[in-house]
Amino acid sequence: MHDRSALGPADVSDEQLGEMVAKLFDTDPAETRVLESVAQEFPYDLPAITTAGRYWVSGTAEVGGDPKPFRMFVKHVQSWARHPFFAMVPPEQREWAAATVPWRTEALAYRSDLGDRLPQGLTMVRALGVFDLDEESNAVWLEEIPLVAREWDMGRYSQAARLLGRHATSARVMELLDSVGHTMTIQTYYDGRLSMAVLPVLRDDSVWRHPLVAAAFDDGLRARLLEAADRSAEYAEELSSRPIVAAHGDACPNNLLARADSDDFVLIDYGFWGPGPIGYDLSQLLVGDVQIGRRSSADLAQVEDAIFAGYMAGLRDEECWIPDDVVRRSHALQLLIFTGLSALPFDLLDAEPTPELHQVAAHRAAIARFSLDLVDATA
């Protein structure tokens, strides 16, 4: 029996599924037959505008005459022009807006040999199949790997940052930037989301009167953010001049999974993998969990010290001798431009201001303040 209807357009033929199962078990496709399969949606509570769906596909296959269970993970990736949020983009900006968010990079990464190039201690899930569905979507089928939940203490943050530093400056990894990486730049982000969505909201007096904002972002923080907004073009130009390395693009703890059978980190979600200024991946490692409410902002300084030291150690492992102050300034600018300036809880302003949401706003205000302080300290 087969029921993979949950996959919709991301489904494959029974023959293609059989070939992937043979690849999973490293067996001869001629001796591998899928007996049954079923698809179920994978529960995931974090929105992603380029992800149409996530699924488990499980079943039983006959391999060399013996039944064997299998399970695979399927990710349906699409242009964000197909996401409901895209309807809010003004018609005259839609063609440009669709082109500014990469969605093909994930498939390119899994079709490449990036996994063989990653530094020891950083691994990539093996792709069993990558399928183009149409001109604006594809599906990636991945093997299931054993995972375990591990506490993100300072040692774990430091080790993750060290591996990201090695990933950033590894010559073998950087060789793939032209064939796998996207074409987004700091200027692309500045001209797009920052100038069109973030800065206008920052300059809207009514936003600052919203209960969630007014309670967390005091007058002093508002003045500092507006001053930074006025200097944002200057900051973006400065960040654009920094050395370019290989960046994951969203190296938050949620995308650095822990294997159950080793101490390796499993790096996932390659939608924004590509070129970026040195220190690019430190921002999301630092604040990713704070932004989504999984971690308090109370130890931002301690975490930042740990990850910066780890990242610099990773650079030195790869014989990269960019000075510490150059990297830290780049990191500070990245944090402010991509996170600090957009720290106001724009996404929560239509919700009832509950105590929980007030807490989220307070943590985001702490991120904004920390990013401003870091830019000042590295000037």
71's tokens: 């399970």
Amino acid symbol at 1: M
Q: Kind and range of the H or E element at 122?
A: strand 122-124
Helix, strand, or coil (residue 57): strand
Is the pTM here over 0.85, yes or no? yes
Which residues on neighbouring strands pair with residue 134, listed in sequence order?
137
Amino acid symbol at 236: A
Distance in angstroms (rounded) separating the CA atoms of residues 156 and 165:
14
- Report the chain's C-alpha Rg in angstroms: 22
Tell me the CATH architecture of domain 146-378.
Answer: Alpha-Beta Complex (3.90)
Q: What's the pLDDT at 321?
A: 97
Distance in angstroms (rounded) separating the CA atoms of residues 179 and 112:
9
Alpha helix (H) residue ranges in 170-231:
171-174, 186-189, 199-202, 205-208, 211-216, 219-230
Among candidate residues 120, 175, 174, 165, the one with its CA nearest the CA of residue 318:
165
Residues 306 and 154 sit within 8 Å (Cβ to Cβ):
yes
Instruction: Give the contacts of 72 (CB within 8 A, at least 6 positions apart).
Output: 20, 24, 56, 57, 58, 128, 141, 142, 143, 144
Phi, psi of 35 (to 5 degrees): -90, -40
Residues in the chain, how many?
Answer: 379
Distance in angstroms (rounded) separating the CA atoms of residues 196 and 77:
25
pLDDT tens, residue order, the chain (379 aa): 899 999 999 999 999 999 999 999 999 998 899 999 999 999 877 778 899 999 999 999 999 889 999 999 999 999 988 888 888 778 877 887 777 788 999 999 999 999 999 999 999 999 999 999 999 999 999 999 999 999 999 999 999 999 999 999 999 999 999 999 888 899 999 998 899 889 999 999 999 999 999 999 999 999 999 999 999 999 999 999 999 999 999 999 999 999 999 999 999 999 999 999 999 999 999 999 999 889 999 999 999 999 999 999 999 999 999 999 999 999 999 999 999 999 999 888 888 899 999 999 999 999 999 999 999 999 9
247's tokens: 């960046």
Instruction: List for the chain the helix, strand, coil content (%; round to 5).
Output: 50, 20, 30
Domain segments of the chain as ranges: 2-116, 146-378
Interior angle at CA 343, CA 339 and CA 346, nearest 5: 125
